Chain A
């Protein structure tokens, strides 16, 4: 079965750029979504179709997907962005989630 892998944790200073990656075989040929989840809350979609931002999501969130790696970039990271981030893609008829990345804003 298809798998995608995320780095378990990323740390960033406020105002800096955070990059969270999701890796999988030929992932660049698939759509990727990214979700933000804060403790005790439901996930929130922050990127869909690999690089599109839902209405209401700040412009500092962007996505890219090429080769074997999809990347969620948060520019000018704020303390409010501290959360777990999950990538998600599709493999034929299945939905696949990454293991999640904990973003710490120091």
Chain B
């Protein structure tokens, strides 16, 4: 069965960086793109970026452009989301989700989420 397992909770200081991993299993990793989203406490979902694991192509939200880097390791079937220059507003749960192949498919499987806490 399809599973996305994310790395554990992280605590960082203002100005630090954090790297969250998302290990995929149960399907061909390179056949589906991967979304990354953030959910601040009590808030809506927010798109961070997207990667095509087959060729490594990425797209980023303008809000995070310049601070976020999404990569993948196809040998480990794992996607990574690194966010730098952290500030308190970056505190939240970060989710990865598999993007269905066809246009409009959305995130059909989600990771369990990774809580990132940024404090001064």
Q: A-side interface residues toward B, CB under 8 Å?
A: 1, 31-33, 35, 42-45, 48-50, 54, 86, 88, 90, 93-100
Asked whether any CB of chain A lies closer than 8 Å to the CB of B35, the reply is: yes
A43 touches B102 (CB 8 A): no
B47 touches A95 (CB 8 A): yes
B104 touches A50 (CB 8 A): yes
A94 touches B47 (CB 8 A): yes
B110 touches A43 (CB 8 A): yes
B35 touches A95 (CB 8 A): yes
- For the complex, give the distance between the alpha carbons of A97 and B43 in Å: 11
Q: Please encode chain B, from 29 to 63, with 1 for each CB lying within 8 Å of some chain A CB and 0 for all others.
A: 00000010100000011110010000000010110
Q: B-side interface residues toward A, CB under 8 Å?
A: 35, 37, 44-47, 50, 59, 61-62, 95, 97, 100, 102-108, 110-113
Which of A35, A44, A45, A49 has most chain B Cβ within 10 Å? A45
Decide if the interface of chain A is mainly helix, strand, loop or mixed: strand
Q: Which residues of B contact A96 (CB under 8 A)?
A: 47
Q: Which residues of A contact B46 (CB under 8 A)?
A: 97
17 contacts between A and B (CB under 8 A): A32-B104, A33-B105, A35-B107, A42-B112, A43-B45, A43-B97, A49-B103, A50-B104, A88-B106, A88-B107, A90-B104, A93-B59, A94-B61, A96-B47, A97-B44, A97-B47, A99-B44
Query: Which one of B59, B102, B112, B113 lies within 8 Å of A49 (CB-CB)?
Result: B102
State how many angstroms separate the Cβ of A7 from the closest Cβ of chain B: 13
Query: Which one of A1, A31, A54, A93 lies within 8 Å of B104 (CB-CB)?
Result: A31
Q: Which residues of A contact B110 (CB under 8 A)?
A: 42-44
